């Protein structure tokens, strides 16, 4: 799976995950998935509840990312524990 980049809003109630679409055709168009999730419970204990996913051109994804940073969102890591299969 591609590396994901996470942002969290200033209120720490919402996250965005940016991840490259592995199915993009090289040399044609590159797309990113932008997922939006709500923080439920205590941050770090439970994964966010992912509520929307959009697929956008990689340049638009960069614009969205930079706009969110300028609005006070900050970079974060996937800190919640991953469920074992």
Structural domain count, the chain: 1
pLDDT in tens, 13-44: 999 999 988 775 666 678 899 999 999 887 77
Domain assignment present for residue 26? The answer is yes
* Spatial separation of the C-alpha atoms in residues 45 and 76, rounded to whole Å: 15
Domain assignment present for residue 83? The answer is no
Which range marks the domain in which residue 58 is found? 4-76
Q: How confident is the model at residue 12 (pLDDT cuts 50, 70, 90)?
A: very high
If we measure between CA atoms, which residue out of 3, 1, 6, 2 comes closest to residue 79?
6
Task: Please give the model's pTM, rounded to 2 decimal places.
Answer: 0.82
- Within 10 angstroms of residue 26's Cβ, the number of other Cβ atoms is 6
Domain assignment present for residue 84? The answer is no
Report the pLDDT value the prediction gives residue 30, as an integer from 0 to 100. 82
């Amino acid at each position: 799976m591609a590396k994901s980049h996470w942002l969290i809003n200033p209120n720490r109630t919402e996250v965005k995950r940016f991840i490259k679409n592995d199915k993009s055709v090289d040399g044609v168009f590159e797309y990113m998935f932008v997922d939006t999730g709500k923080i439920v419970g205590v941050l770090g204990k439970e994964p966010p509840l992912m509520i929307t996913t959009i697929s956008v051109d990689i340049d638009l994804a960069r614009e969205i990312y930079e706009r969110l940073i300028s609005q006070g969102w900050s970079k974060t890591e996937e800190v919640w524990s991953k469920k074992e299969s």
